[in-house]
Amino acid sequence: MLLVVQNDPRVPLGTYADYLAEAGAPFRTIRPYAGEALPNPAGIGAVIVLGGAMGVNDVAKYPFLDGVKDFIADTVACKVPLLGICLGGQLLAHVLGAPVVCNSPWGEKGTLPVTLTVPGSADPLFREIDRRFMTFQWHNDSFAIPNGGELLASSSTCPNQAFRFGANAYGTQFHPEINREIIENWSSWSPETMACSRDLLADFAASAAAYNAASHRLLLNFLQLSGLGNKTQTQ
């Protein structure tokens, strides 16, 4: 069973819900922001922690984040495969003792390329993904690589795009789960993003085929390394 942790009602599973159904991988979504309790990760097949508009230190405003941090720490301790996306990756880095810079100089928005490091090219999460591939970015904060972690991907604007800790805990700064509807929603959040909404959507449409291919492969690779790649039931 794959457990999806959704931290923000505006940041859903997106295309990954469709890809999981196509792959026949059973999954369940927990929404701690709505008061849903996170389970003991022991016995869970794998975990995906999604993003959110908040930061890792915004616990006073979003007290559920403390429980998510504890859950991530327990998941890593249990060696359950974990993929943290954007805020999820920042939370993983934070739990592992790495700083996360708020409103960092490495913020990005839009459809942008990322390049795998030499270890990233050899990592099973990025199997059959081009060394330079398209991603979607929407972040102001940025994580450092935890001690003992390995940098897997980088870009000219944001040097820390993906890392692995241990055998199977991964954090990405980029979003691999985005679709057009999500971009439209996020673009409505502020006057600044509304002003560039047309460009954001046009850039995404121009690179959608390459973006979707890399994102789909990344999820299939995560399912494979988690031992969930051959399941046939969804829920």
DSSP conformation class of 175: B
Q: Which residues contact 105 (CB under 8 A, 6 or more apart)?
A: none
The 8 Å CB, 24+ separation contacts for 115-123 are 115/153, 115/154, 115/155, 116/152, 116/153, 117/151, 117/152, 117/153, 117/154, 119/150, 119/151, 119/152, 120/151, 120/152, 120/153, 120/162, 123/152, 123/164
Q: Which one of 86, 94, 108, 139 is the catalytic residue?
A: 86
Q: Answer yes or no: 86 catalytic.
A: yes
How far is the CA of 162 from the CAs of 10, 188, 214, in angstroms? 23, 27, 14
Q: Which position among 94, 108, 158, 175 bears the catalytic label?
A: 175
Q: Which of 94, 139, 177, 216 is catalytic?
A: 177
Is residue 192 annotated as part of the catalytic site, yes or no? no
The SS3 of residue 209 is: helix
What tokens does 153 get? 């991907």
Known catalytic residue: 175?
A: yes
- What are the backbone angles phi and psi of residue 93, rounded to the nearest 5°? -60, -45
Query: Distances in Å between the alpha carbon of 122 and those of 68, 98, 113, 191, 212?
Result: 30, 24, 19, 42, 21
* Residues known to be catalytic: 86, 175, 177
